[in-house]
Amino acid sequence: MSDTAVHNTLVSINPRTGESNGATSVTPSEGVDDAVARAAEVAESVGDLQPRVRADWLRAIAHAVDTEPGLVELADRETAKGTDRLTAELTRATDQLRFYADVAAEGSWLGAVVETTQVGGSLARMRQPLGPVAVFGASNFPFAYGVLGNDTGSALAAGCPVVAKAHPAHPLLSERLGRLAREALQRSGAPDGVFAVVAGFDTGPRLVTAPDIAAVGFTGSQAGGLALWRLAAERPVAIPVFAEMGTVNPVVVTPAAGARFTDVADGLAGAFTLGMGQYCTKPGLVLAPRGYDVAVLAGQALLAKAPAGWLLTPAIAEAYHSGLRDLGEAGAVTVATVPGPGGGASVPAAVLSVDADRLRRGSRLLEECFGPVLLVAEYNDDAHLEAIIGELQGALAASVITSGADDPDVSGLVRRLSRIVGRVVVDGWTPGVSLAWGQQHGGPWPSTTAPSTTSVGAAALDRFTRPVAYEGAPDGALPPALRAANPWRIPRRVVAPAAQR
């Protein structure tokens, strides 16, 4: 799909052929302003609702998407991801909506605390929604991270109206999903304005700078995320931008695991070419002990797997080719390549090797190349490995490949890598982020703009709320979650004075 705008339309392009799938209308400036205004009008009432009501809305949206025919086929025409993968992703997306519905209804995310102080006063605290949220979905996951993805699901669950921007890689699908959601919300009795989709390149800055927008959720490139972050920081009233951005996710092979790399090479090849390498959690850099020909083995595994496919848009494919050239100019050497199928946004898959001493902070070698490429470097000893890790930038995830449960280097590497990534995987691969209460999908700068948050899992709701304390307030003045009767029946921490404990 090309991010091509023609006059007042956004054109959808088939990545396989480069031909048009059709077009959707660009939202005019006044349309963006109207969507934000309607979201602001209902924000307080939506936030005050019992979470179970919003949970019902999310389940209604999930049902509407589940029962709508033709969504996978439309997504495949716009992304070339294949119907099998898109079918699985569609199921993931509706499961997400139901998961966030369950999280909202359970209520512990509110962090409700009711306390009687030592002098007989009262102190109560809970999280409350920020207000309207602007959501910028990802190009590579049109269902799971699109206009009805994690950001939208968690924001609605937390009590925030959403204005989502249609992604130019799949504008027709974005438009259709938006219509399904609005109709489902209307049938569920939700107020008009709780959700809207806008389209067009100029809508992004207009959304972020709209005075009534209270937060931004973004999934995409560093360039895009940081541009929105800067816009939000320069507003008269700055707002948080929760941007999950691409980075190089390292794989560290322990010294004892080098001898068994042949056992895991196939899995690595599958991981970095999964979805043609278009995962923000794709392993992009392997640090392996010297002497085991890990780059050659990885190249052989790539040739055996022989992946062939297209990237999401011609622009992304062009950036990938440019990235390969940049890596070569920075000192990387090609070990193995598999040519693309040809046509449209076709690209080759590749394994490259590089002298580990070239891995220095700020080098192009340590920046993401979005697509099916893997860089391999060999370290000499523990001190050399420690020095290399010290040059890496913050990342979403990392893998540690071990020789087994008794590998003496595992504990130290897990601890070391946990300082620079949000998720450490032992003897496994980083693509694929499970939907769970304990999940962390985020990491230190520059992988995200807010390292203490996650965009996947139950804690994703925290991003769109802030804690408020009430001291000495009468029961009737408190939000329902903090009142003595606890009418919402949510989990709470009730603290007695120290003398009574």
48 has a pLDDT exceeding 70: yes
Is-contact 271 250, C-beta < 8 A? no
21-35 pLDDT per residue, tens: 999 999 999 999 999
Query: If we measure between CA atoms, which residue out of 455, 449, 442 comes closest to residue 396?
Result: 442
Average pLDDT over residues 261-282: 97
**Residue 7's pLDDT is what?**
58
pLDDT at site 496 = 87
State the chain's maximal CA–CA distance in angstroms. 76
Report angle CA 201, 203, 207 to the nearest 5 degrees: 140
Mean pLDDT of 71-78: 98
What local confidence, expressed as pLDDT, does residue 8 receive? 87
Distance CA 280, CA 225 (A): 13
The per-residue pLDDT for 498 is 60
Q: Where in the chain is the domain with CATH 3.40.605.10?
A: 4-246+452-464
Work out the pLDDT band at 117, boundaries 50, 70, 90.
Answer: confident
Main-chain phi, psi angles of 456, to 5 degrees = -135, 140
For 489, residues 6+ apart whose C-beta sits below 8 A from its C-beta are 107
Give the CATH fold of the 249-426 domain.
Answer: Aldehyde Dehydrogenase; Chain A, domain 2 (3.40.309)
Give pLDDT tens digits for 336-360. Answer: 999 999 999 999 999 999 999 999 9
CATH code for residues 4-246+452-464: 3.40.605.10
Stretch 382-398: mean pLDDT, rounded? 97
Q: Which of 78, 89, 175, 244 is catalytic?
A: 244
The C-alpha atoms of residue 446 and residue 251 are separated, in whole angstroms, by 18
List C-alpha distances in Å: 46 to 10, 128, 239: 32, 11, 20
In the chain, the percentage of residues whose pLDDT exceeds 70 is 98
Phi and psi, residue 249, nearest 5° = -95, 115
In sequence order, what E strands does 322-381 have? 333-338, 349-353, 373-379
Residue 4 has pLDDT above 70, yes or no: no
Q: Which residues pair with 253 in a beta bridge?
A: 401
Q: What does residue 219 show for φ and ψ, rounded to 5 degrees?
A: -130, 120
Selecting among 78, 89, 160, 280, the annotated active-site residue is: 280
Segment among 222-226, 320-324, 395-399 with least mean pLDDT: 222-226
Is 280 assigned a catalytic role? Answer: yes
What pLDDT score does 6 carry? 46
Within the chain, all domains assigned CATH 3.40.309.10 are found at 249-426
**Per-residue model confidence as pLDDT tens digits over 356-380:** 999 999 999 999 999 999 999 999 9
Query: For tokens 């009418």, what's the residue?
Result: 487
Q: Residue 121: what pLDDT?
A: 84
Average pLDDT of the segment spanning 115-127: 88
Q: At what angle do helices 83-106 and 150-158 cross, to 10 degrees?
A: 20
pLDDT tops 50 at residue 1: no
Question: 7 or 349: whose pLDDT is higher?
Answer: 349
